Amino acid sequence: MRQRALALVTASTATAVVAGLLVAAPGTPATAAAAAAPQDRREPPKVATVVGTGGAVSSVDPDASRVGLRVLKKGGNAVDAAVATAAALGVTEPFSAGIGGGGYLVYYDAASGKVRTIDGRETAPAAMKKNAFIDPKTGEPYPFTPDLVTSGVSVGVPGTPATWKRALDKWGTWSLAKTLKPAATLARRGFVVDRTFRTQTRDNRERFRTFTSTKRLFLQDGLPRVGSVFRNPDLAATYDLLARRGVGALYRGVLADEIVEAVRRPPVSGLTDLPVPPGSMVAADLAAYDALGRRPTKVSYRGVDIYGIRPSSSGGSTVGEALNILERFNLSTATDVQALHLYLEAGALAFADRGEYVGDPRFTQVPLRHLLGQTYADERSCLVNPATAAAKPVPPGDVTAYDGTCGAPATREPDDRADTEGVSTTNLTVADKDGNVVEYTLTIEQTGGSGIVVPGRGFILNNELTDFTTEYEAGDPNRIQPGKRPRSSMAPTLVLRDGKPLLALGSPGGSTIITTVLQILLNRLDLGMTLPAALAAPRVSPRNTATVLAEQAFLDQYEALLEAMGHQLAPVGDPGTSAAEIGAATAIEFGPGGVMTVVAEPNRRGGGSARVVDPQG
């Protein structure tokens, strides 16, 4: 969670205090990033769990959650509040999300009882070559980071603005202009820099120095100080432009031309030796973009229905298949260690099929009906030994030949392709007084995306195309192809009981998104944890790798017991850093009488911000 403060500052900072909030005075340079450290601070409340009625918002950031809650209190519905919250996150979490990226949205419509989804994933330019990630000087792939991610060639056509438009047009009650206004105000007034923002800036300093526009915005006065006020008037003006002209200004107007220019001729500073391979995007790629409405995935598990995102994301199919495998086992009588063992095995099997079969359905035939079928899962579950871990990686199953019974083991080769999906993403959960629910995951991919700020526009372009497999293989469902959406792991998820919402949840974290959502469901539905405990519990991420990565708290509790069953575990990231954490979830549980338990992470990423319209107690 990002800590904020309101500040009084002197005239020398070129600001004025209006209604207790910092407002840029006329003449303030558009690229000014941070004001002097404030003398007085008033931090927004850091609340990870609240209970109440009337509507709710949960996100990683208190300013963003406050914006969404205000929309609900002013009569906006869940979709209006979700778009407003997402736009605010583009201000306060610019290294994780924004209009230069994409994402997936799941919506429950209370009036119809239907679940709908939007695929706002970025797309590859029409001229993208299959060897786009190969350095022509060496004939070898560019080093993934920092070289490949810091580039124009990594930038996909953004999908976030089109997602907002589609959601508002279909289900919202507010205009785009009205939903963007709070975020534009926040960008002008600024937010208080916390340790996470400073650390993320520091960790990306070399990449940000590579581009004149990015250096000017984020490093003008060196690293931003904790407690200083960061303003982004360029982004405020961009939001104003979209408010006046609609998202067409980004996909067909002057802003489209500026994005193309930044991708094809990145504004390099000459201060670093990063190669910055240019991209091939043209204006027609932006004009052709469409956020797609798709039917959700659906599986039944322990008497509830679980809805998610279908391909181009692998989130819904992989979570769903793993749950179908677990359905065969009675976890109500299992110990925690036995349940975790089964979770690790089911996750590995589902990830094996993810790598073999899942990609953009416009370019590859995804056997989704088989992957989400209980009969197929029953046969896959035959490979799970309740007492001993299988050697990893496990091979994928054969969707063309199965009958649900145990027979000969799979003979296909395991997938050994490296997973390069970035972990810098954000998630939000919103519900309104009428029972409508939005679960929305959005991203610019890597922390800091491509590193390229569109000059004068205040937002970073994504590096989403690095989610494609780096080296082209003809049979790979996630190979580079023009116009294609790279495979994602985003998994915004809704759980319904008897047609009514029971849970809504999602998380950032690259491919660990899938395992985070799956483990929270296991914790809540099978292990009897409360929702706050289910989010707070230490995590482990089974992705069909020889060594399973886990948080240190998980290793402290379970490593010896699970290694005795044959699992190989190791810590994720450096201890004491955000890299040592898995996910940063948000969730809402719906109880009788319209009572909502609204939950954000208590500690990961500094803790999240849960808000409710009418709190109880």
Q: Which residues are catalytic?
A: 425
Length of the chain: 617
Separation between Cα atoms, residue 299 and residue 323, nearest integer Å: 8
Per DSSP, the residues of 305-368 read EEEEPPTTBSHHHHHHHHHHHHTTS-GGGS-HHHHHHHHHHHHHHHHHHHHHH-S-TTTS---H
Handedness of CA 66, 68, 69, 75 (dihedral sign): positive
Tell me, what DSSP letter sits at residue 501?
E
**CB distance 569 to 555 below 8 Å:** yes
Of 465, 482, 453, residue with least CA distance to 262? 453
290's enclosing H/E stretch is none
The torsion region of residue 499 among left (phi > 0), alpha (psi -120 to 50) and beta comes to: left
Per DSSP, the residues of 1-29 read ----------GGGTEEEETTEEEEPTT--
Q: Hunting for tokens 């994933």 — which residue is that?
A: 121
Separation between Cα atoms, residue 591 and residue 578, nearest integer Å: 33
Q: Which two tokens stand for residue 406?
A: 């145990």
Q: Which two tokens stand for residue 500?
A: 């009514």
Q: Which two tokens stand for residue 175?
A: 């205009």
Strands (E), 446-498: 493-497
Beta-carbon count within 10 A of 617 CB: 5
Query: SS3 of 397, please?
Result: coil
CB burial class (10 A; 0-12, 13-18, 19+) of residue 8? exposed
CB burial class (10 A; 0-12, 13-18, 19+) of residue 377? buried
Helix, strand, coil % over all residues of the chain, rounded to 5: 35, 20, 45
Of 338, 300, 356, residue with least CA distance to 561? 338
User: For residues 208-225, b (16+ Cβ closer than 10 Å) or e, as one string?
Assistant: bbbbbbbbbbbbeeebbe
Tell me, what DSSP letter sits at residue 471?
S
Tell me, what DSSP letter sits at residue 230?
E
Separation between Cα atoms, residue 469 and residue 165, nearest integer Å: 30
Separation between Cα atoms, residue 404 and residue 379, nearest integer Å: 4
Separation between Cα atoms, residue 367 and residue 469, nearest integer Å: 20
- End-to-end C-alpha distance for the chain, whole angstroms: 23
Of 432, 429, 551, 542, residue with least CA distance to 494? 429
**CB distance 337 to 562 below 8 Å:** yes
